[in-house]
Amino acid sequence: MSRVSGAAVAPVVAFFSYWGMSHKPAEAPRPPPKPVKLGYWQIRGLVEPIRTLCAYGHIEVQPIVYQQGDRSVNFDKSMWYNVKNHIGLDFPNLPYLFDNGLKLTQSDAILRHLCRRIDEKLLGTTDEEQAKVDMLLGVSMDFRMTLVRVAYRNYHDDAVRAELQQQRIPSFLAKFERFAALHGGPHILGSRLTIADFVLYDLLDVSERMAPGVLSQYPSLKRLCLAFEDQEAIRTFIDEAPSIPLNNMHAKFGAEPQPRGLPASARN
């Protein structure tokens, strides 16, 4: 075996052949990532897929919670409005994410950033998959706004609620069902979880709450929800996270705390 001789030299990474194997000096352990700060109302709303994604990726979250006032103060939002332009956000809005100096708003931008930090495969592994994920996120936002408008404005109107339950929700779910079935499941793009599943699961859960029993008509979407909940870290989050409202206090639906997890009406 050859020997290294001569005067001391500057530190250098040395490799020694030993029984045909290369050995590197052990790397120092990386420090644990700093927790992210996530600002939002004390509701599920737009931020629930972000919270769930952080749980899935084992990212510690320090929540910054803004509370809307109740009816006695005309549902006052000054807790947020008083600070929104003074915390260094380029485009002040909720939700926002602070991650090691990076300050982000816009829920889809936050989701994509966290996917790159956790596992870029969550954004799709091919150009086609990534394009489909982008499409699904866009359609999901259209669906979300359909639900939100009724929840905040006129859910208690019998005619409006009936139209939502019998026409609007089924119209979206039928398209998602065909897409999921075409790709074979159990997730929306097939065998691998993507960020689209995080957003869609939340919307399917809300749909079932606004139209009890609706998911029973869509077996691929019901399978998607159960497969999503079957992820260990997600199951733990669902079981352990506190119950909070779906929507803010002035909403006509979902203003009361509700437990997480697919409602019993979807499990029969």
The enclosing H or E element of 97 equals: strand 96-99
- C-alpha dihedral over 139, 157, 170, 110, to 10 degrees? 30
Q: Which residue has the tokens 């005619």?
A: 159
Q: Among residues 103, 70, 99, 69, which one has the least CA distance to residue 84?
A: 103
pLDDT score at 227: 97
Which run of H or of E encompasses 109? helix 107-118
Kindly report the pTM of this predicted structure.
Answer: 0.87
pLDDT value for 33: 65
Q: For 190-215, b where at least 16 C-beta lie within 10 A, e where not — what string?
A: eeebbbbbbbbbbbbbbbbbbbeebb
Find, among 156, 257, 153, 259, the residue nearest to 205 by Cα: 259
Q: What is the pLDDT of residue 167?
A: 98
Longest Cα pair distance anywhere in the chain, in angstroms? 91
Residuewise pLDDT in 10s, the chain (268 residues): 444 444 444 444 433 333 344 455 566 665 566 899 999 999 999 999 999 999 999 999 999 999 998 888 889 999 999 999 999 999 999 999 999 999 999 999 999 999 999 999 999 999 999 999 999 999 999 999 999 999 999 999 999 999 999 999 999 999 999 999 999 999 999 999 999 999 999 999 999 999 999 999 999 999 999 999 999 999 999 999 999 999 999 999 999 999 999 998 887 7
Which residues is 69 bridged to in the sheet? none
What six digits make up the tokens of 94? 């909720």
104 phi/psi in degrees, rounded to 5: -125, 145
Confidence (pLDDT) at 10: 42
Q: What does the block give as tokens for 176?
A: 């998602």
Token pair, residue 232, equals 């260990």
pLDDT digits (tens, 9 = 90+) for 54-78: 999 999 999 999 999 888 888 999 9
Q: What is the pLDDT of residue 5?
A: 43
What is the sign, positive or negative, of the torsion defined by CA atoms of 263, 239, 172, 129?
negative
Any residues with CB less than 8 A from the CB of 234 and at least 6 apart, and which? 52, 55, 56, 228
Residue whose structure tokens are 């990212």? 59
